[in-house]
Amino acid sequence: MDAEQTDLWQRLADYEIGPPGAAFTFAQRLARENRWSGEYAARVLSEYKRFCWLACEAGHEATPSDAVDQAWHLHLTYSRDYWDRFCPQILLMPLHHGPTAGGTAERTRYYDQYAQTLASYEAHFGEPAPLDIWPGARRRFVVDPLNARVNPADVLIVPRGLAYGLALAIAILMLGLVALAIT
């Protein structure tokens, strides 16, 4: 089935989250809260709509990517919009967010669901999910859970390669100072 030819897809495509005419739109808030560009946030929002279609129509439980999950979390904070308009008028059904209970069995279940979601995405939308928004299952459930959301106003964020280079330079400088002190 071509997802984009369905009535559900037309309702999703036409749907805007939040109050009409808001000075600070949902997409702008999504970008700010995740430190994304406006263009990337708009793409994530489009992928969130594709995820919602899959959650309703794929025939199995769908699991979002982390970026799509951030859009879903933010949408849930617009609770009146989500529960009073989106679910009953756009999806025509409730869509509950079910976080993991933790543990190996849950990790395996969500890993498998995510892999199945990616396969359904390609089957229903006729193209693979974009990797910058929908990474592979290993990245999503093994690598990405190690990340932490931090406020850059509170910390200095240094890329790993630069940090190693600086550490090496400081070590060489210290060895040079020690060598000078000995002689």
Write the DSSP assignment of 10-45 as a string of letters: HHHHH---SSTT-SS-HHHHHHHHHT--HHHHHHHH
Q: Are residues 160 and 145 in the same domain?
A: no
Q: Which domain holds residue 178?
A: 154-183
Mark whether 87 and 160 lie in a shared domain: no
172 and 140 in a common domain: no
| pLDDT at position 151 | 74
Query: Is residue 1 predicted with pLDDT exceeding 70?
Result: no
Number of domains in the chain: 2
Q: How far is CA 27 from CA 39, 93, 105, 125, in A?
A: 9, 24, 35, 23
pLDDT single digits (tens) 94-141: 999 988 888 888 889 999 999 999 999 999 999 999 999 999 988 888
Do 66 and 83 fall within a single domain? yes
Do 48 and 138 lie in a common domain?
yes
- Most confident of the following: 17-26, 58-67, 141-150: 58-67
User: Over the Cα atoms of the chain, what is R_g?
Assistant: 22
Q: Are residues 134 and 168 in the same domain?
A: no
- Indicate if 102 and 145 belong to the same structural domain: yes
Question: Same domain, yes or no, for 171 and 90?
Answer: no
Cβ–Cβ under 8 Å, residues 132 and 68: no
102 & 164 share domain? no
Cβ proximity of 104 and 93 under 8 Å: no
Co-location of 145 and 169 in the same domain: no
Are residues 144 and 78 located together in one domain of the fold? yes
Q: Are residues 143 and 162 in the same domain?
A: no
Q: Taken in order 80, 81, 82, 86, is the CA torsion positive or negative?
A: positive
Judged against a pLDDT cut of 70, whether residue 146 lies above it is answered with no
